Amino acid sequence: MPKVAPSILAADFSRLGDEVRRIGEAGADYIHIDVMDGVFVPNITVGPQVVRDLRQCSSLPFISHLMITHPENHIDSFAKSGSDIIEIHLEAEQKDVRETLGMIRAKGCKAALAVNPPTAIEHSFEYFEDIDLLLVMSVNPGFGGQSFIPEVLAKIPAAKQELARRGLSIPIEIDGGINGETGILAAEAGADILAAGTYLFKSPRPADAIRMLKAARPGSKD
Ligand code: DX5
Ligand code: ZN
């Protein structure tokens, strides 16, 4: 049964604290916070100050998804602001991916590596011992409300197979265009955490939408 991580990018930013409380009451397992710098991706969102202030609004684990260049310069501030999991991109310009992942763990947070749709999943394998979670992007990062890219689904069993070969078992999160239908495809492929923005924050009944995603399991679309 997959866990659900609402992505606040789709929330009403004029009432972000209330939105985080509301989605938590609707059954969220994590809060997924999209951090964008306008360089690694063409959009700009929030920084550690927002994570720090939202920390007062929820006891759920915070995932800070850093879609930024040189993430190594910001690990300390996102760790101090209350992130539980910090996700960096394999594709982001940085001194050294393994060093950045080590910094995240050294700060007491869980380290996660994100892989964009065009990136072959095999490029992430060498970091499997350095991460606590793998993020498979199902949209090209930068904006919410985009269409799910089904070609990325094959990355999940491939990653699970390589993890097993290495005697590892870490959760795989999928992020982008997740809804009632694509959530089932992702769960069938083996995704453990479904990050969803539009589907949850724009839903008139978010608790039902979260229940739908949690019920997503192999064969459940029949
Ligand atoms: C995209 C972000 C995603 C996005 C998900 O760059 O990383 O978390 O906000 O939003 P939806 O579910 O609307 O695609
Ligand atoms: Zn995200």
Instruction: Give the Cβ contact number of residue 145 at 10 Å.
Output: 13
**Which residue has better confidence, 6 or 221?**
6
Q: Which of 65, 143, 147, 175 to mutate to test the pocket of ligand 1 (most atoms within 8 A of CB)?
A: 175
- 144 CA to middle of ligand 1, Å? 4
Q: Which of 4, 8, 34 to mutate to test the pocket of ligand 1 (most atoms within 8 A of CB)?
A: 34
Nearest to 183 by CA among 208, 218, 207: 218
- 12 CA to middle of ligand 1, Å? 14
Q: Which residue has the tokens 């972000």?
A: 16
Band (pLDDT 50/70/90 cuts) for residue 110 is very high
With 0-12 / 13-18 / 19 or more C-beta atoms within 10 angstroms meaning exposed / middle / buried, residue 169 is exposed
The predicted structure's pLDDT at residue 217: 72
Contact 86, 111 (CB under 8 A): yes
For residue 220, pLDDT beyond 70 = no
Q: Two tokens at 64?
A: 């800070």
Q: What is the DSSP string of 137-168?
A: ESS-TT-SSPPP-GGGGGHHHHHHHHHHHTT-
Which atom of ligand 1 is least distant from the CA of 145?
Answer: 13
Is residue 51 within 6 Å of ligand 1 at its C-beta? no
- Long-range CB contacts (< 8 A, 24+ apart) of 155-161? 155/115, 155/121, 156/186, 156/189, 156/190, 156/191, 157/189, 157/190, 158/121, 158/122, 159/121, 159/124, 159/125, 159/134, 160/190
Closest-CA residue, ligand 1 atom 1, reads: 141
Contact 127, 97 (CB under 8 A): yes
Is residue 144 within 6 Å of ligand 1 at its C-beta? yes
Q: What is the mean pLDDT of residues 40-54?
A: 98
Name the active-site residue from 34, 84, 96, 192.
34
Q: Two tokens at 3?
A: 């866990």
Band (pLDDT 50/70/90 cuts) for residue 56 is very high
Is residue 176 within 6 Å of ligand 1 at its C-beta? yes
Distances from the Cα of 54 to the Cα of 57, 80, 221, angstroms? 5, 13, 35
β partners of residue 65:
34, 87
Calpha distance 8→96 (Å, rounded): 29
Which atom of ligand 1 is least distant from the CA of 196?
Answer: 12
Q: Known catalytic residue: 175?
A: yes
Position 84: which residue type? D
List, for residues 136-193, the tens digit of each pLDDT value: 999 999 999 999 999 999 999 999 999 999 999 999 999 999 999 999 999 999 999 9
Nearest to 61 by CA among 34, 35, 24: 24
Topology at the third CATH level for domain 3-214 = TIM Barrel (3.20.20)
Calpha distance 70→93 (Å, rounded): 6
Every domain of the chain and the residues it spans: 3-214
Q: Note the ligand closest to the C-alpha atom of 6.
A: 1
- 171 CA to middle of ligand 1, Å? 19
For residue 65, pLDDT beyond 70 = yes
Is residue 43 within 6 Å of ligand 1 at its C-beta? no
Q: Two tokens at 95?
A: 């001194």
